[in-house]
Copies of this chain bind each other. A is one copy, B any other.
Amino acid sequence: MTPRIARYLADNDVATPALVVDLDRVEANFRAIKAAMPHAAVYYAVKANPAPHILRRLAGLGSNFDAASIEEIEDCLAAGAAPQAISFGNTVKKASAIRRAFEHGVPMFAFDSAEEAEKIAKHAPGAQVYCRIAVDNAGADWPLSRKFGCEIESARQHMLYAAELGLEPIGLSFHVGSQQTGTAAYEAAIAKVAMLFTDLKDRGLKMRMLNLGGGFPVRYREEVPHIDEFGRAIGSALAKAFGNAIPDTLVEPGRFLVGDAGVLASEVVLVSKRNKDDAVRWVYLDIGRFGGLAETEGEAIRYHISTPHDGKKQGPVVIAGPSCDGTDVMYDKANYRLPQALSSGDRVLLHATGAYVTSYAAQFFNGFRPPAEHYI
């Protein structure tokens, strides 16, 4: 937790559930990834947290933006981003969204199929496009692979087809999976796409851009490599694969920029042993899987939780949300332990919750409203 968030929570009687985000930390993270990868253009993955405060701060710092929808594109424009600084990175786009983005002046569109290339050619004629290639997501806590990306040979055909359609195929992209905790996935992906990149250049395409995607991790319960390590590994892999003809590179951090800038305050609604001999207590919070903690599905993302009783005797717990839904259980198998003294009414903090929380929150599941948002 940043000192500014700690002070804000101490000074204000914040009604829970509430997310508090330190914009200075977002800025520090932006500067850290720029320092780690000085040659890469940073495109913030807006979906991680589309709050206007974040978009404005990043636009002011000269960030570019990776948008998943026309709504996100228009949020970026409203926050002061230039259309040229926006990439429409979803490989699956409505025709109407492509058209509107093109009219706004957004220059660059992702695709991974012939059908999508045809849609882009029709609704954004002549636009720059890049093809997404499926790569190994091993090491990622929130993998993305099967839904997106095509094989190398398909990408070759798609790129040549895009050129035939009058589009301007400029590059390739991949995504190693979100919360990627190893540098090896980037190295392997770069090696995988480099040959195709060069080959397409030889075939006359004006290849100039390699989009390395996002996935850069945040520290939750376990340590993760520093962003500088990713920078070094990526730099070496690029040099190895491209020699002195390294293309423009582009990274799309989302989680990395905002994740550890946020803390979620939540009230304990109930701590119960429903049966006397139960070994494990159930702790119910006032936010759950459908209130924003969607990434706890399969217990994939394991937030660090602090309580007012930390340091005292602990015991095993199951941690669940406040709704009547049986699937609204965050942690059952992940061996969470919380203080024995914890009881209903206590305030707990879920750390590094700045990314992928508010955006997932259901509008009114079981009547519960999304968490309040405080940007400081």
A interface vs B, CB < 8 Å?
A: 46-47, 50, 67-73, 75, 89-90, 92-95, 112-116, 119, 134, 137, 142-151, 153-154, 157, 177-178, 267, 269-276, 282, 284, 286, 290, 294, 297, 320, 322-329, 343-345, 358-370
Q: Is the CB of B92 within 8 A of A322?
A: yes
Q: Is the CB of A363 within 8 A of B359?
A: yes
Q: Which of B113, B271, B345 contacts A95 (CB 8 A)?
A: B345
Q: Is the CB of B344 within 8 A of A284?
A: no
Q: How far is the CB of A343 from chain B (nearest CB, A)?
A: 8
Q: Is the CB of A360 within 8 A of B365?
A: yes
Neighbouring B residues of A276 by C-beta, 8 Å: 154, 157
Q: Is the CB of A113 within 8 A of B273?
A: yes
Neighbouring B residues of A286 by C-beta, 8 Å: 94
Q: Is the CB of A115 within 8 A of B367?
A: no
Give 15 CB contacts A-B under 8 Å: A72-B367, A90-B324, A92-B269, A94-B322, A113-B270, A115-B270, A115-B344, A137-B326, A147-B325, A147-B326, A154-B274, A154-B276, A290-B360, A359-B365, A360-B365
Q: Is the CB of A275 within 8 A of B151?
A: yes
Q: Name which residue of chain B comes closest to A72, CB basis.
A: B367
CA distance A364 to B68 in the complex (A): 11
Neighbouring B residues of A367 by C-beta, 8 Å: 46-47, 50, 67-73, 75
Q: Name which residue of chain B comes closest to A146, CB basis.
A: B326
Q: Is the CB of A90 within 8 A of B366?
A: yes
Neighbouring B residues of A46 by C-beta, 8 Å: 367
Q: Is the CB of A275 within 8 A of B359?
A: no
Q: Is the CB of B144 within 8 A of A326?
A: yes
Q: Which of B50, B150, B267, B364 contacts A359 (CB 8 A)?
A: B364
Neighbouring B residues of A358 by C-beta, 8 Å: 363
Q: Is the CB of A92 within 8 A of B148?
A: no
Q: How far is the CB of A57 from chain B (nearest CB, A)?
A: 18
Q: Is the CB of A92 within 8 A of B270?
A: yes
User: Quick one: which of A119, A267, A363 has the most chain B CB within 10 A?
Assistant: A363
Q: Which of B47, B112, B116, B267 contacts A323 (CB 8 A)?
A: B47
CA distance A364 to B69 in the complex (A): 11
